[in-house]
Amino acid sequence: METIHVVQPFDHAKQGLKAGQVLQFKTADEAARRAALMADKHAGVIAYSMDVDEEGGDYGTPRVLFQSGEVPEL
């Protein structure tokens, strides 16, 4: 099992929020810092960590590292 650290930006679209490109980082600190830098450029942004077992297809509960603006529930 490994832990992934992800940043997901969101922008306004005709049908509500549109997810932007997912960015993955080596550490939780890197993900949180990048999300904070992106916050002023997007309608919303979230950084989270999650345990993943790709072989078994198991995904843990996401742990929010940073959240700003409009973000749908995980």
10-61 pLDDT tens trace: 999 998 999 999 999 999 999 999 999 999 999 999 999 999 998 888 999 9
Question: Rounded to an integer, what distance in angstroms lies between the CA atom of residue 57 and that of residue 13?
Answer: 32
Question: Rounded to an integer, what distance in angstroms lies between the CA atom of residue 63 and that of residue 74?
Answer: 10
pLDDT value of position 6? 98
51: DSSP letter: E
CA distances to 17, 58, 70, 73 from 50, in Å: 23, 10, 21, 15
Question: Rounded to an integer, what distance in angstroms lies between the CA atom of residue 36 and that of residue 7?
Answer: 10
Question: Rounded to an integer, what distance in angstroms lies between the CA atom of residue 13 and that of residue 19?
Answer: 9
